[in-house]
Chains A and B, each alone.
Chain A
Amino acid sequence: MAQKKTSLLSKILDDNKLQDYINVFPNSVGSYGYDAWGFNIRNMKNNMRLIKYLYEDYFHAEAFGLENIPKNGRCLIIANHSGQLPFDGSFVGYAMLTNPHGPRAPKAMMERFIPSVPFIGNWLNSLGSVIGDPVNCERMLEKEEAVIVFPEGVRGSNKLYKLRYQLQRFGNGFMHLAMKHDTPIIPVGIVGMEESIRSYADIKPLAKLLGMPVAPLVIPYFFKSKVYIHFGKPMYFKNDIHKETDIKHRVDMVKAAIDELLQEGLAMRTAYLEAQKEIKK
């Protein structure tokens, strides 16, 4: 029976060309389909259907600038973070996996607290998300992987709804890694995820009780919102400075590039919403 289910699933994946993309997946996995970071090829195949549904049918996501992603070799995908649950990482991953210019299956660095959240931690892990530790990132870049990093971390993903589209403080870690490992940075602006799950407060005592960094007060519903993902041009930084203040300056350059992409996405979404209103009239 299980065999039948798998075949049916494979058929659906085949129909949607997803299987073709998955076949070029660069990760090497062991006898039970796992790699050293918890990625699981079987779970990935099964879950990609859900991501596909959310990406294409629920959020009507659109990706631009996919030609800017290197077809192979190491790269850091640096994006803004939002939406309480890290679906933005899955969406960037899906856009890269189904990139007509050359599909890639990236790894995504997730907040350190996520592994402590039941189900979500393991689930994201099996899809290729990895705890945001520089050691992990270095090892993956050495293996020529594309790695998604959200330098805002939990400050971005769990910010309150009223702070939407306001980029929070960026950590400097990704810049150190990019310089040390001679890795291009692809800035990414994601519009739409900020509205998907809205947090109105952080219930700190509850967070403490549950052993988590945040306990957002949210409406447990995925608000429908048109999603735009803009991939910017690669940015290169030489490993030629040593002062943290200079690093910060470079981080701010990436942050500014992301902000520009965000504004582009927001303008497109405004136009889209106005067109929708016109249609309704």
Chain B
Amino acid sequence: MEPRKKILVTGAAGALAKKVIENLKKEYKIVAIDFRTKVDLGIPVESYKIDYNKRLFEDIFREHQFEGIIHLGRISAQEMNRFSRYNANVIGTRKLFDLALKYNVPKVLVLSTYFVYGASAYNPSLLDETTPLKASELTMDLVDSVELENLSTIYLYKHPELNITILRPCNIAGPGVRNTFSLLLSEKRSPVLWGFSPLMQFIHIDDMRDAICTAFEKNIPGIYNIAPGDYIGFQDAIKAAGSTPISIPSIPPKLTESISRFLKWKSFPPYLINYFKYPVIIDGSLFEKTFNFLPKKTLSDIFNYYKSLK
């Protein structure tokens, strides 16, 4: 019997990574790593707490011959300051790519985010993958997300042997997800901006897991948005999830920012205020056609889950 192929999954402590690992562990031998903590994922999965920027990280590559890397690890703004985050997310990813090159890893999947497009009043709808990434124009706190994308794109074209796939999903939501908008859906009272209800897209964590596994297995290098062709206004989403919208003054913009800083509301950070105002609707059709992928869960499935928690 042929030994199972090994893959490296980063960001193992996150809910999405756990789902991906669970899905792939029958087929692959998984080595799971995380910046923050050593995660107990059961016996067949080797798990490490490791800093990608430390020399020790290379030992993992020396010890295992990886068939692929699924890079889901990302330090969020709530976890570290801007400088440390840049080091972890951008410099750390460069280290990961360099090691992948050195140890001949034939495929790498990178999880990005739709945040990189930036929320602006001037955004047209259905942004495709060629749209310029303007998030860093809005806030320094998203520079690391944009830089991580740029770095991945450089490696995608400079080193085609890495077969890099970059995924830019819309809001991921569902059990265990702790990103900003899923936190808002799970709260009893959620901040909304007075007079604004931007159109949004949500993908269920199970569909996102399937999208990652499909893209990894089929490995067609490139950059892909991932978003269902169904939409909802933010305030309607909050209500559909059983939460009560709390209106925060929206003009002048500086007042909104001050309120956000003063409240220190984890799910209403000042650097994401524009995302509470303007839509960032992405076109997921390229991914759907290329990978013959359609999400199975509906918006109602997502909101009913959050409603059931209250």
Q: Which residue of chain B has the shortest Cβ distance to A29 in the bound complex?
A: B231
Known contacts A118-B250, A122-B196, A211-B251; decide if A30 and B231 are in contact (CB<8 Å). yes
Inter-chain contact A36/B196, CB cutoff 8 Å: no
On chain B, the residues within 8 Å of A40 by CB distance are 233
Once the chains bind, are B125 and A36 in contact (CB under 8 Å)?
yes
Question: What's the minimum C-beta distance from B71 to chain A, rounded to whole angstroms?
Answer: 30
**Whole-angstrom distance between the alpha carbons of A120 and B298 in the complex?**
29
Give a binary string over A121-147; 1 marks a CB under 8 Å from any B CB, 0 the rest.
Answer: 110011000110101100100000000
**Is B194 interfacial (CB 8 A cutoff)?**
yes
A131 touches B229 (CB 8 A): no
Q: Which of A106-125 contact B (CB under 8 A)?
A: 112-113, 115-122, 125
Within the complex, the shortest CB–CB distance from A47 to chain B, in Å, comes to: 14
Docked complex: A145-178 residues within 8 A CB-CB of B:
none
A118-B194, A119-B195 as given contacts; A211 in contact with B252, CB under 8 Å: yes
Q: Which residue of A lies closest to B128 (CB)?
A: A135
CA distance A268 to B191 in the complex (A): 51
Instruction: Knowing A34-B232, A38-B233 are in contact, say whether A209-B195 is a contact too (CB < 8 A).
Output: no
Q: Considering the complex, which residues of chain A in the window 49-71 have a beta carbon less than 8 Å from any beta carbon of chain B? A: none
Residues of A within 8 A of B126 (CB): 36, 139
Chain B interfacial residues counted at CB < 8 A: 30
A34 adjacent to B124 (CB under 8 Å): no
Proximity string of chain B (232-259) to chain A, C-beta cutoff 8 Å, 1 when within and 0 when not: 1100100010000000001111000000
Interface size class of A (residues with CB under 8 A): 20 to 34
A32 and B232: CB pair below 8 A? yes
Chain A, Cβ-Cβ closest to B199: A38
Contact A31 B298 (CB under 8 A): yes
Closest A residue to B251 using CB positions: A210
Q: Are A116 and B300 in contact (CB under 8 A)?
A: no
A131:B123 contact, CB within 8 angstroms? yes
Set of chain A residues within 8 Å of B121, measured between Cβ atoms: 112-113, 115-116, 121, 131
Question: Which residues from chain A contact B252 at a C-beta distance below 8 Å?
Answer: 209-211
A41–chain B nearest beta-carbon distance, Å? 12
Contacts of B66 in A (CB 8 A): none
Q: How far is the CA of A113 from the CA of B277 in the complex (A)?
A: 13
| Contact between chains at B196 and A121 (CB < 8 Å) | yes
Which residues of chain B are within 8 angstroms of A34 by Cβ–Cβ distance?
Answer: 199, 230-233
**A37 within 8 Å of B by Cβ?**
yes
Is B281 an interface residue, CB under 8 A from the partner? yes
Q: Is A37's CB under 8 angstroms from B125's CB?
A: yes
Q: A residues within 8 A CB of B262?
A: none
- Knowing A112-B122, A211-B251, the reply to whether A32 touches B196 (Cβ < 8 A) is no
A35: Cβ under 8 A from any B Cβ: yes
Rounded to whole angstroms, the CA-CA distance of A263 and B5 in the bound complex is 77
Does B299 count as interface, using CB distance less than 8 angstroms?
yes
Most B Cβ at <10 Å: residue of A38, A112, A119, A211: A38
Q: Does B279 sit at the interface, judged by CB under 8 A?
A: yes
B122 and A35 contact, CB distance less than 8 A: no
| Inter-chain pairs besides A37-B199, A116-B278, 15 sampled, C-beta below 8 Å | A30-B232, A31-B230, A32-B232, A32-B240, A34-B199, A34-B232, A36-B126, A36-B229, A112-B122, A116-B121, A118-B251, A119-B195, A122-B196, A125-B199, A211-B251
Q: Which residues of A contact B (CB under 8 A)?
A: 30-32, 34-38, 40, 112-113, 115-122, 125-126, 130-131, 133, 135-136, 139, 209-211
Q: Which 6 A-B pairs have the closest CB atoms?
A: A118-B195, A30-B230, A133-B124, A135-B124, A119-B195, A34-B231
Listed A/B pairs (8) with beta-carbon separation below 8 Å:
A32-B236, A34-B231, A36-B231, A112-B122, A119-B195, A122-B196, A131-B122, A133-B124
